[in-house]
Structures are given as structure tokens and as C-alpha cells.
Structure 1
Amino acid sequence: MSEQTAKKTPVTYADAGVNISSGDRAKQRIKYLAQKTFNRNVLSEIGGFGGLFRLDGKYQQPVLVSSADGVGTKLKIAFELGIHHTVGADLVNHCVNDIAVQGAKPLFFLDYLATGRLDHEVTEKIVSGLSDACRANGCALIGGETAQMPGFYADGEYDLAGFIVGVVEREKLITGENIHIGDVLIAFPSTGLHTNGYSLARKLFFEVAEYKAGQYINALQDKAGAALMKTHRSYLNLIKKLTAGDYTTGMAHITGGGVTENLPRILPRGMAAQVELGSWPVLPIFEHLRELGNVDQDEMLRTFNMGIGLIAAVPAEKFKRTKSMLDRAGEKFHVIGRIVKGERKVVYV
């Protein structure tokens, strides 16, 4: 070895952009926030190689229901506005809805947060949002991964994804197989775009209209960024009401693909969903997006939820009882159509 080589300064992981000590400090805060969601079924602490969760013995034939998803390009708006506490709720609520429509009760959640350089304040805001949403949905945040990937993500940017597991008694599983011709379709309002369609929405707002995130839009009575950042709604409590009284034969969470592509996922063979356009109020943000890009109606319906976040199929003979229950509970809903004979698609009329 030459004298010049011997005198070289040792290169550390931190020199490559990964500060292990900084990551450890962030994980201590994450541990505290996650523990706030724990219940008696959590058997492990944050920091182990795997999270441990005990399944209650009250289930006779338990079926585990799982789902994974991400926040998507909605994060780009979070970066620009510096709003990081709501994206955690977006992610948790999205995943909760995905399993709840099959009758499942959320058990535990795992998150994946990847960034170029770990920012303690940003990380705490994100995980605080995850923790709060998990607690609100009765779900334990039992683990996850926080990855520092310098050179992979630009400064100030990160990606956020999650994985959820829930449980349902086999006889209570809702798959849509019991949907019948004549069932009434009831839609429940969304709070906005939720977590889908943001690539098109961002293009229309920030490239076509050249809005700034903090710019007030008269048509929306809100700032552009704030309108796009409205939190993805959890329908868990509503779904519990629908399932407890055996009111529904199938439910669809309206996410990417809109009503057009999500509703057919629960339809049995030989059946179609007849949906009446104009039967629900379309939120102003969707009308504004359509006008900005002169977007075709079919494209809008395939890209955005158009103001509908959940659709439930209700047997015609149970509709009056279902309506009474929803009215008493103060749940807003709209009758948007029926199940008809056809081939597993949405027919707009």
C-alpha cells in the first residue's frame, strides 16, 4: 500500500448521504407515535424484525383481508405546500376502506417511508398523521420501514406507502356474490379527489391554468393547493352500520379508475350497474378540472371519483329500512342507479 493511500480519510456511510445516527433518533420518535396505537393484541415492540399481532379467539372461521397502496403524486403538492401531516391519514384511510368494503375489521398497519435525506420534523408529521388515523380506525401501527436513499429522491421529497391486514368471519365476508338484479345502488360523498387522479389534476391546475398552490380560486372558494389536499375520507364507521344490519350485498371503494372501473369489480357475471348521471352532486373541483382541460366526460368518470367515494348495493326490499337507518345516523347518500342484466360494466344513462 502506498503512503498516499494510507493517509486517505476514511469514508463513512454518512459521507454517502445516509446518517444512521440521525435515522436512529427519528425511529425513537416513530416508536413513541406507533405505541399510541397499540392494543392488547400487539405482542411486539417497534424495532423488531417483524411485528407480532395476536388474533382474538372469538373468531370461528377468521379470514384475513389485506391491501397495499400508496399516496401517489398527491405527495408533490404536499412537498410544495409543506403540509405533511395529512398524507398519513390519506394512506391509512384508503387502505382501511379497501378492506372494510369486504366486511373486514382493520387489525394492523405497516408503512414504508423512503426519502433521500431524513428530516426529523417532516418524518414526525408524516408518522403523526399515520398514528392518528390508525387510532381513529382502531388499527395498530405495528411496524414499517424508514429508508434513507440519497441520490434516489430529490431533496425535500419522499414516497409513502402502506400495508394493512384486517379480519372478518368467513360467513360475514362481503364479495358481491349475493348482489341481485334490482338491487339499489347508493352512493356516499367523497371529500374531494381523495388519493387518485392527481397526475391529471396537477397538469390541469399547474400547467394548463398555471395556478400557484397558494392561489385562491373563485370557482372553488378555496386555494388551489388546499382544495387538492383535502383528506381521503374513512368510511369505516359507515360501513360498520351497513354490515351490522345486513343492509348491503356488496360495496365498492371508488379509487383510481373512478366509478367506471371500480364498481364492476363487485358485480357477479351476467349483471351490470346502471348509473344515472346527474343523480348526485358533482363537487365544484371536478367541474373546474373538466372545464380547464375540456376533458371528455368518459375520461373524467374513469379518472376521478366525481364526488363519490363509496357505493353500496342494497336489496330493493331492504331499501326503506336502510334509508331510515342512514337518515337517523345523519349519513348523506344518493340513490344513483340499480343492478340490471348485463356484462359486468357500468352503463351510464
Structure 2
Amino acid sequence: MVRESDKPLTYAAAGVDISAGNRAVELMKRAVRSTFTPGVLADIGGFGGLFALDAGRYRQPVLVAGTDGVGTKLKVAMLMDKHDTVGIDLVAMCVNDILVQGAQPLFFLDYLAVGKLVPEKVAAIVEGIAAGCRQAGCALIGGETAEMPGFYGPEEYDLAGFAVGVVDKERIIDGRSIRPGDVVVGLASSGLHSNGYSLARRALLDVAGYGVDSCLPELGCTVGEELLRPTVIYVPAILPLLQDGVVIKGMAHITGGGLTENIPRILPPGTAALLRPASWQVPPVFELIARIGRVAVEEMRRTFNMGIGFTLVVDAAEADGVLSRLVQSGVQAGIIGEIVEGDGAVLYK
């Protein structure tokens, strides 16, 4: 026998509050509009975002698209009940990826899925996304917030992002001109960025038993503050170099897989990268994870960025000028290795 509900069912009673969703949109409007650039043609709330490409600026414009998420770093945000920085990570993971091919980010879209829609929490998340878009110089032209009770817990949520940029076809950077003798320039990370958090959480929270509010002298902050440091957005440092015609032969965003697996993605046949780990400073958080978890050096290097969040390959004669420009832009950078003959691997010395 089929049993009927004692009372008429509503969407709200089933766990989806449309009114809360509308309030969230109102709370985020100012943040979203703060990212608008001249190419934006529609306000928030439409079925699709509209962006007018200034094709006259390019001989053969090529659109470059990237998508990513924040991963289990979100677990730390939930533990701390701090949600206004993970949006920066979301934007960073996408725009840094398309920057690798020389693209200028144009616009961004986000997807936010929550177990229970709390307008103020959603607004805080979107504030972070907007802050990341402002750093990257791209417009937040759309997104989706989905309330999914029964799929996520009441305090849980997930984030995904989508970035689109543009580069002139003849200026696409793909690494094919890299040759032995070129140098590898490393740009410092702010810490873990948004990779390796399953291992980091296992070591620091489970094995060591630290809480997110545990203050560690070697970190100079709490565990939670360290783990929530936003990913660096490298667009403001790199894009001016490209716009001024500085020849960068290859770039790599150091995410999952670390230096060990990301640099080979841009190396042409017959080359390898020889890196000198002593040439850069490894943030204390990595040493802490390695010690507590007894993690092997090789495992650390293929899981985390180890203090280098982005790399450039340039002609040795161009290195000093590139480093000077990077330092002027406020990014800590240095020569961390060179290109040698090899089979596409990253070697450490």
C-alpha cells in the first residue's frame, strides 16, 4: 500500500529553500559586479553570461579554457567555518592553468553545490571568488548555486570553476622552443596552495592530532591558518611580461604531481629539467608534514609544490631581466635549475 503525506509537500520541506537562494543572489551582487570589465554585456541573473571579445586586438585570437576545483582544502574551511578565501583558490587553480599557454583570463564562472543553503555563507564564498577574479583581471559573469540535501551534509559544499582566456595564435606558449642551456625560473608559492590536502590533513590532523586552532611555533600561526593560505594568482606578475614581448619559452603551474610531474608536460623530446632544491626556500609546513608522516622525499616532491607554485623556462640571457621584473611585481622568484639533454624527466641535484 502506498502511503500519502499527511501534509502537502513543498520544495522547502524537502530541503531546498528557493527564498534563501534568492537572498544569496542579492548578497553577492555587489561582489560580482566589482569584477565586471568592459567586455561584460549582461548583469547577474541571466540564463547565460555575455562577454564581447575585442577581436581587433588580436590577429588570430584563440580561446583557452580551463576548469578545476579546490579539493579537500574545503574540509579545512568547514572545520574553521571560514569561507571567504577558498574562492580565491578556485580562481587561481583555473587562471594559472590557462596562463601557462600565454592566455589573458577574460571571464570566469563558478559552480557551488551545498547541503543547506545559508545565504551569508554563500555570499562569503562568492566574495572570495570575486576577489580572485579582481586579482586575475577577469570578470565573474555567471555561476550556479545548487542546494542538494541528502547528497551533501548540512555544513558541506563543493566548488568548481571555469575560466576562459584569449591568446594570439602566434603567441601561444607550448614549450616547443625549449633547448638545453635554458634556465628554469621558480616563483614562490604561499604554501600548500590547493594540492595534497588529503595527505596534509592525514599527517597534521589525524596522525599528529592537531586541531585547526593549534598554534605551532614553526608555522608562526595556527594549523588552520596555514592550511587556508590562498593560492597565489600569478597573472599580475606574468601577463605584463608577455604583453611587453618578453620571450618565455615554457611555463608550468605546479599543482598535483608537483615539480616532478608538471614540468615534464612542457618539455620537448630530448630534454630534461635539472633542478637544485637548495636554491629555494621550502616553507616549514612541508617539512612538518614530511616529519610527522615520515613521508619520503620523492613522495613529497610528486605530491606538493614544495614552495614553488609556478615555473618559467627562459633563455639564460633573459633570466636576469625576467627576475628583475618579477621582483618588482612583488613575487619572490629565483633560478632553480636548467634544461639539459634527457628523456623528459625532472632530475634533482
**Structure-2-length-normalised TM-score:** 0.95
What letter corresponds to residue 335 of structure 2 in structure 1? V
Other-structure match for 1:226: 225
- What's the secondary structure of 1:15's corresponding residue? coil
CA spacing shift, 1:247–1:59, aligned 2, 3 Å: closer
Other-structure match for 2:348: 348
In structure 2, distance between residues paired with 1:150 and 1:97: 33
CA spacing shift, 1:320–1:134, aligned 2, 3 Å: closer
Per the TM alignment, residue 96 of structure 1 is displaced from its structure 2 partner at its CA by: 1.3
In structure 1, distance between residues paired with 2:319 and 2:202: 41
- What's the secondary structure of 1:303's corresponding residue? coil
In structure 2, distance between residues paired with 1:321 and 1:81: 42
Per the TM alignment, residue 218 of structure 1 is displaced from its structure 2 partner at its CA by: 1.8
Per the TM alignment, residue 134 of structure 1 is displaced from its structure 2 partner at its CA by: 1.0
CA spacing shift, 1:231–1:329, aligned 2, 3 Å: closer
- What's the secondary structure of 2:57's corresponding residue? coil
Per the TM alignment, residue 232 of structure 1 is displaced from its structure 2 partner at its CA by: 0.4
Contact 1:247/1:322, CA 8 A, preserved across alignment: no
Give yes or no for the alignment of 1:295 onto 2:307.
no
CA spacing shift, 1:77–1:326, aligned 2, 3 Å: closer
Pairing partner for 1:43 from 26, 37, 41: 41
Per the TM alignment, residue 179 of structure 1 is displaced from its structure 2 partner at its CA by: 1.0
RMSD over aligned Cα atoms: 1.7
1:3-14, aligned counterparts within 5 Å? 8-14=6-12
In structure 1, distance between residues paired with 2:31 and 2:325: 36
- What's the secondary structure of 1:288's corresponding residue? helix
Contact 1:101/1:239, CA 8 A, preserved across alignment: no
Other-structure match for 1:25: 23
Give yes or no for the alignment of 1:339 onto 2:344.
no
Per the TM alignment, residue 8 of structure 1 is displaced from its structure 2 partner at its CA by: 4.1
Other-structure match for 2:315: 315
Give yes or no for the alignment of 1:141 onto 2:140.
yes
Which is worse superposed, 182-191 or 234-243? 234-243
Per the TM alignment, residue 329 of structure 1 is displaced from its structure 2 partner at its CA by: 4.7
What letter corresponds to residue 236 of structure 2 in structure 1? N
CA spacing shift, 1:95–1:183, aligned 2, 3 Å: same
Other-structure match for 2:111: 112
- What's the secondary structure of 2:71's corresponding residue? coil
Other-structure match for 2:179: 180
Which is worse superposed, 172-181 or 303-312? 172-181
- What's the secondary structure of 2:279's corresponding residue? coil
Q: What percentage of residue pairs aligned between the two structures are identical?
A: 52
Q: Which runs of 5+ in 2 are unaligned?
A: none
- What's the secondary structure of 2:278's corresponding residue? coil
Other-structure match for 1:16: 14
Other-structure match for 2:238: 239
Aligned length: 346
In structure 2, distance between residues paired with 1:310 and 1:40: 29
What letter corresponds to residue 44 of structure 1 in structure 2? A
In structure 2, distance between residues paired with 1:308 and 1:270: 24
What letter corresponds to residue 145 of structure 1 in structure 2? E
What letter corresponds to residue 110 of structure 2 in structure 1? D
Other-structure match for 1:150: 149
Contact 1:117/1:149, CA 8 A, preserved across alignment: yes
Q: Which runs of 5+ in 1 are unaligned?
A: none
Runs of 4+ with >4 A deviation: 327-330
In structure 1, distance between residues paired with 2:331 and 2:12: 52
In structure 1, distance between residues paired with 2:49 and 2:292: 47
Contact 2:88/2:132, CA 8 A, preserved across alignment: yes
How big is each residue's C-alpha offset from its partner over 1:27-66, in whole Å with a ceiling of 9 and x where there is no partner?
2223332122112211122222211111003222001011
In structure 1, distance between residues paired with 2:142 and 2:329: 35
In structure 2, distance between residues paired with 1:115 and 1:86: 17
In structure 1, distance between residues paired with 2:11 and 2:32: 27
- What's the secondary structure of 1:338's corresponding residue? strand
What letter corresponds to residue 183 of structure 1 in structure 2? D
How big is each residue's C-alpha offset from its partner over 1:96-129, in whole Å with a ceiling of 9 and x where there is no partner?
1111121111100000000011011111100111
What letter corresponds to residue 164 of structure 2 in structure 1? V
Which is worse superposed, 199-208 or 220-229? 220-229
In structure 2, distance between residues paired with 1:228 and 1:201: 9
